[in-house]
Structure 1
Amino acid sequence: MRFLMLNWRDPRNPLSGGAERVTLGYLSALAQRGHEVFWFANAFPGCTRAEVIHGVQIVRGGRMGSSIFAARSWYKTQPRFDLVMDQHHGIPWFTPWWCGTSHVSYIHEVLGPIWNAFYPWPLSWIGRTQERWTHWLYRNARFWTACESTRDDLKRHGVRHVSIVRYGVDTVALPELPAKNLTQPVRLAVVSRLAPNKRIGEAVKLANVLRTRGIAAQLDIVGGGEEEPSLRSLVQQLQLQDCVHFRGRLPEETKDALLRDAHFLIHTSQREGWGLNVIEANAMGTPAVVYPVAGLRESTLHQRTGWVSAAETPKSLADGIARLLAKPDLYQTYRINAWQRAKLFHWSRILPAACDWLEALARGEHHVEPAELL
């Protein structure tokens, strides 16, 4: 069968992130089953027009504002696809009105307040309004997402049919859980693009709140992005140069080692499709302390695999860490639970049922729901 994914970015795009990682996971698994799998994405400076990544045929064309037209022109030259996957990132590809075959809309999160992080008013208002309008326009289309928060957001916007397929991770859980006592300095880790919607400054402020409470902490920030200069300025302003360290982008093995040594992963995003790095940290025996937002509420089970703060403030994050410092046995319980749960999210467990479902859609079996693994 022939499958097509439409997404603004592909794995080689400098702005690619978790969405592209999980998309490649699904598509490469379909390719391994012998299907023809294509991924159409925006072109970017220095890119090739076509290449193959893990068996997936990447095709690039157009830029922001023109790639839909480039995709349609290319699509007309192709043999019929059995399933077209229309990935939404604020603005979709409007495939129900031009693809002429089975299609499914794939979405990670409803952006909502994220528009405010990237655009000033009135552009942010326009973005939020068109997103709600687009979902109403797509109300009869089948959607596919990873968590209940996104499903509920879509239904509030009028979408009628949303299926949940969990994300997987490549990170293999440690075979044995090594000893790690919660002592000072508390080792905190952030793994993220340094983008406005990720609110990494909140993690820096957390280190400052802990210091004012007499709790020594070290914060490692893994990742890069446009917010790095302002974050470095914040670190200097708060005089935290001795305890906040920018590690840049790290190889997977180095990142895993850092997560294994950390006491907590800190996640302060405005919202997430899921929070892949939460599960990656859990696989290394490290629980997460996160903000109570869509996606992170699902990837971190409050007081079971980690701590979901009561409010979106550094003080509230610090409250959770302080509580666990006072109850080290509880911290060890979270570690064990997080490590065991992370094993359920390895791709080897997620992909077979996900691919079965996508194949059913490609055969026109639109009544079929994905198997519930978790």
Structure 2
Amino acid sequence: MRVLVLTTWFPDANTPSKAPFNLLHVQAIAQRHDVRVIHFQLGRTGPVTEENYDGVSVIRAPVSPRRPLQALTAIRLLAVGLKTADVLHTMAFTSAVAAAPAAICHRTPWVHTEHWSGMANPASVSKKWAAFAWLRYVLKLPDAVTAVSSAQAEQLRRFARRRGLSVVPNVVLSQDSLAERTGQKRGVVRIVSVGGLITRKRPALALETLRILRTEGVSASLTWVGDGPLHADLEKMAAAAELASEFSITGLLPPDQVAAKLRNADVFLLPTHHETFCVSAAEAIAAGIPAVVTDLPAVRDFLTEKNSVLVSAGRAEDYARGVLLALERFAEVPSSDIAETVSLRYSPTAVAELFSDIYNHIQRFTK
């Protein structure tokens, strides 16, 4: 089929780490279908550009309230694309809002994929979003809506068509080489965390976990892969706790370098407060390292006793015990056994099959 993807979240040369999950979904769909992407670049100005990004044909259309004519150009691009598309597939909530007028007029079969955690609790995002949260009912318009986890699907149930809601997980790529996890034998436990340095990810709790482990005599280090507004605060906290040499922040890295950091670790730690899927934990498992993550409904789809330790309480002491338990439980478990728990279920081929089934269903349903 000819699939037109509209998204407001998509990586580019300047921000290769932005929404890599959407790129992986598009690449998976492209295994079976002819895919074109229109990327509405919200808040940007400039000309419309077209490129091949990592094997994907992408038209980038800046959309800014300061340039109303640019918004009209973007909408016109979408309308033209819909004339030859068999399926419209929007990815990210703002994409569904942007697509609604044109999609209603053209009645192209429409699938929407949602990743955003802000859909569940608008007040946790901002007062402005809470005031406009009624816009979530735009998800009644697509013929099918997919969530990336069972927990997120339950959250979206009242905003989407009841019979049109299903789960299609994020793609988790298999690694050519897996983590060796030799840190314990060398006497240094390498812990890695991946995510934004934002309050919801609770990086300060990860740092406190490191401090407790070292206080208890565990020679451990923590590398946080990512960046965000808490960067400077975390570095000050590390210095105050005399952990500056054991704690490092890499900043934003492209996916291949993130994978390399995971392969170089012994255990993954993320004391996050809320997730819709937790791609970074799944990628850690795919790299062959056990994960220590908050026990959240969204991660229970793929984190089990075969690959992780889930922490119910929210104290650093509990995460420290989780790290020690993971090191003990998986000390003799080959990295390949850990990786196999996600490698087939979340492969591009498996995800492509799920989307294809949905496309075929709505094609029949809308005829």
Q: Which residue of 1 aligns with 2:20?
A: 21
Alignment of 1:151-300 (within 5 A): 151-155=153-157, 159-160=161-162, 161-172=164-175, 174=177, 178=180, 180=182, 182=184, 184-250=187-253, 252=255, 254-300=257-303
Change beyond 3 A, Cα 1:146–1:60: same
Whether the 8 Å CA contact 1:209–1:314 is kept in 2: the answer is yes
Distance in 2 separating the partners of 1:214 and 1:198: 26
Q: Deviations over 1:56-110 (max 9, x none)?
A: 2223220379787554233234434322223234684254443122112210144
Displacement, 1:207? 0.9
Q: Are 1:88 and 2:95 counterparts?
A: no
Displacement, 1:143? 0.9
Whether the 8 Å CA contact 1:283–1:339 is kept in 2: the answer is yes
Whether the 8 Å CA contact 1:86–1:93 is kept in 2: the answer is no
Whether the 8 Å CA contact 1:269–1:291 is kept in 2: the answer is yes
Displacement, 1:30? 4.0
The sequence identity of aligned pairs, in percent, is 18
Displacement, 1:127? 1.9
Whether the 8 Å CA contact 1:210–1:217 is kept in 2: the answer is yes
Q: Which residue of 1 aligns with 2:64?
A: 63
Q: Give 3-state SS (helix, strand or coil) of 1:194's partner.
A: coil
Distance in 2 separating the partners of 1:344 and 1:225: 32
Q: Are 1:111 and 2:113 counterparts?
A: no
Distance in 1 separating the partners of 2:271 and 2:2: 39
Displacement, 1:171? 3.6
Distance in 1 separating the partners of 2:31 and 2:349: 15
- Could you tell which deviates more after superposition, 179-188 or 141-150? 179-188
Change beyond 3 A, Cα 1:6–1:270: farther
Change beyond 3 A, Cα 1:158–1:49: closer
Q: Deviations over 1:106-136 (max 9, x none)?
A: 10144257756654xxx1xx424533x2334
Distance in 2 separating the partners of 1:96 and 1:108: 18
Displacement, 1:351? 4.1
- Could you tell which deviates more after superposition, 51-60 or 332-341? 332-341
Q: Which residue of 2 aligns with 1:370?
A: none
Distance in 1 separating the partners of 2:301 and 2:28: 25
Distance in 2 separating the partners of 1:212 and 1:238: 11
Q: Give 3-state SS (helix, strand or coil) of 2:75's partner.
A: helix
Q: Give 3-state SS (helix, strand or coil) of 2:205's partner.
A: helix
Unmatched 5+ stretches in structure 2: none
Whether the 8 Å CA contact 1:221–1:246 is kept in 2: the answer is yes
Displacement, 1:218? 0.4
Change beyond 3 A, Cα 1:338–1:173: farther
One-letter amino acid matched to 2:353: A
Q: TM-score, normalised by structure 1?
A: 0.80
Q: TM-score, normalised by structure 2?
A: 0.81
Distance in 2 separating the partners of 1:152 and 1:292: 17
One-letter amino acid matched to 1:338: I
Whether the 8 Å CA contact 2:100–2:141 is kept in 1: the answer is no
Aligned residues: 355
Distance in 2 separating the partners of 1:14 and 1:116: 31
Displacement, 1:230? 2.2
Q: Give 3-state SS (helix, strand or coil) of 1:84's partner.
A: strand
Displacement, 1:354? 3.4
Alignment of 1:331-370 (within 5 A): 331-333=331-333, 337-345=337-345, 347-357=347-357, 359-360=359-360, 364-366=363-365
Change beyond 3 A, Cα 1:331–1:69: farther
Q: Deviations over 1:137-167 (max 9, x none)?
A: 5346421122101011112556523111122
Distance in 2 separating the partners of 1:17 and 1:299: 23
Change beyond 3 A, Cα 1:135–1:278: same
Q: Give 3-state SS (helix, strand or coil) of 1:104's partner.
A: strand
One-letter amino acid matched to 2:25: Y
